Amino acid sequence: TTTISDAATVTIGSSSIFSSTYKTYLIQGSNIHFASDGVQGRAYFQHSGSDVTSSYSRSRIRMKDDSATVSGDSNNANAGSIDNLFGYNVGNASGEAANFTAYLYDPASTDNYKFLYSMASYSENDGAPGFQQTVFSLASTNAVDGIKLFASSGNITSGTVKIYGLA
């Protein structure tokens, strides 16, 4: 369990958090608040304790309650982070927050690309509730030994993140 208290970045893990004991890890973030309005919750995978800042791709669907349309997009470019992992245009007014559940598959392996499947629910900066489901991939066979969470702007002011080994 990692409790967040006004931090620019939150690093989860160390060289021993992900092992071959479990092939799937569940990561849950709850009641995450931001200092700035209209931000995205982002992340980097880490390899050997350093941030991986390239080779990310994603496919996503999202919807908010004031829109009759489900939107989808993908980013097959060489993205520099796991963007919108836990929210898109998240508000910072009283009561607005982000939550997410993500599954990280076989992070300790060195023979496959890394995949993260995420479901997020959040309040957008206009107060409307939103949700998204996203699949992220990292085009690297290096083992992942940590995850760094951060906001697209400003600090993460509070929240809780937990990691569980599943199978």
The structure tokens 């304790």 sit at: 49
pTM over 0.75: yes
User: Using one digit for the tens of pLDDT, what is the confidence trace for 100-133?
Assistant: 999 999 999 999 999 999 999 999 999 989 999 9
Half-sphere exposure of 133 toward its Cβ, with a 13 Å CA cutoff? 2
**Using CA atoms, how far apart are residues 49 and 148, in angstroms rounded to an integer?**
10
- Choose among 33, 157, 45: nearest CA to 105: 45
Residue 140 has pLDDT above 90, yes or no: yes
Q: For the chain, give the percent of residues with pLDDT over 70.
A: 94
User: Using one digit for the tens of pLDDT, what is the confidence trace for 90-107?
Assistant: 999 999 999 999 999 999
Task: List, in sequence order, every residue forming a beta bridge with 37; answer none if it has no partner.
Answer: none
Q: Tell me, what's the pLDDT at 64?
A: 78
User: Using one digit for the tens of pLDDT, what is the confidence trace for 63-93?
Assistant: 877 666 678 878 776 789 998 898 889 999 9
On average, the pLDDT of the chain sits at 90
Task: List, in sequence order, every residue forming a beta bridge with 137; answer none if it has no partner.
Answer: 57, 115
Mean pLDDT throughout 20-49? 94
